[in-house]
Amino acid sequence: MERPNWAPGDIDLERPSVARVYDYWLGGAHNFAADRAVAQRALDTMPDLRRVIVSHRAFLRRAVRFLLEQGVRQFLDLGSGIPTVGNVHEIAQDGDPDSKVVYVDIDPVAVAHSRSLLLGNDRVSVLQADVRDGAYVMKSPEVTDLFDLERPVGVLMIALLHFVPDSDDPLGILATYLDALPSGSYLAISHAGYEEGEDGEGWTATRNMYDRNVTPMTYRNREQFTRLFAGLELVDPGVVRLPLWRPESLEDVDDTGAPFPVFGAVGRKA
Ligand SMILES: C[S@@+](CC[C@H](N)C(=O)[O-])C[C@H]1O[C@@H](n2cnc3c(N)ncnc32)[C@H](O)[C@@H]1O
């Protein structure tokens, strides 16, 4: 298979990656046959999947705009993915051109493509790192050279933490970031999850296939999701199904009647 110039030499093109499968679902062009095969199989078993993906991006947009309204001008996008449309720096710098963004992802394609897209934008930096190593991320020059850590930061974890199992101590990871940030900082999370008994056949099949072929996921129910915000003040409307977090239009509200399999919330450090 021919390797395009945006694909770093050390990646295995035959092995689906979270970032590239997601890119396919978002309509992006930075994915390979192996990614598309898994992504398409998931869509075939779970046609609703696309609305879920779209809702993560819509939440990201609403959360960044909300944080801008609260005066936040520094955004740390953890597990930022392969840039498509509606990226954090576009939303944030549309609100205030001086907004600063650090993108962090473990995926080489996501990082390479972000770097090439952002060349020349001196208010954005890109770091390849494992977000579970918060100390490394917070001490990196990408963060310390760009951010004023005396001022609030909006930490974004969009469709990320369901890839971090309990054995990796997600609460400890979150604490590492939040302890390094001043009061008035925010944490925004969207996360796959549903209450007991809600996961229909399609979801279970999709999830098992994804676990086997891409990477294992940890779904968290409302209570487990809420615990991620320990020590923070939840802003209105608290923990909700993702489309119901401050919808800006009817389009944002999912009205199929089926339980929406993603929770979302934003918390503030007092
Ligand atoms: C489902 S995608 C979401 C991308 C983006 N946040 C969005 O909403 O469009 C999850 C991203 O998290 C990244 N990721 C997963 N585990 C990670 C880790 N431990 N460290 C850094 N990035 C990670 C993947 O590479 C992927 O790009």
pLDDT in tens, 171-227: 999 999 999 999 999 999 999 998 877 877 777 888 888 999 999 999 999 999 999
How many angstroms is it from 48 CA to the middle of ligand 1? 21
Residue 1 counted as domain residue? no
* Residue 85 counted as domain residue: yes
**Angle, to 10 degrees, between the axis of helix 18-25 and the axis of helix 108-118?**
60
Domain that holds residue 63: 18-268
Residue at 13 is within a domain: no
- Residue 2 forms part of a structural domain: no
**Ligand 1 centre from 112 Cα, in Å?**
14
Domain-embedded: residue 9: no
Please tell me the distance from the alpha carbon of residue 265 to that of residue 250, in angstroms, as a whole number. 19
Tally of structural domains, the chain: 1
Residues 6+ apart with CB under 8 A from 20: 30, 31, 32, 35, 82, 107, 109
CA distance 67 to 157: 14
Q: Which residues pair with 266 in a beta bridge?
A: 188
* 157 within some domain: yes
Question: How many whole angstroms separate alpha carbon 158 and alpha carbon 59?
Answer: 8
164 SS3 class:
coil
* pLDDT tens readout for residues 237-260: 999 999 999 999 888 887 666 778
Which residues does a 6 A CB cutoff place in the pocket of ligand 1? 18-19, 22, 56-57, 60, 79-81, 105-107, 110, 130-132, 158-160, 163
| Low-confidence residues of the chain: pLDDT under 70 | 1, 255-257
Collapsing DSSP states into helix, strand and coil, what is residue 61? helix
What CATH number is attached to the domain comprising 246? Answer: 3.40.50.150
Residue 11 lies in a domain: no
Is residue 135 assigned to a domain? yes
Distance, CA 54 to ligand 1 centroid (Å)? 15
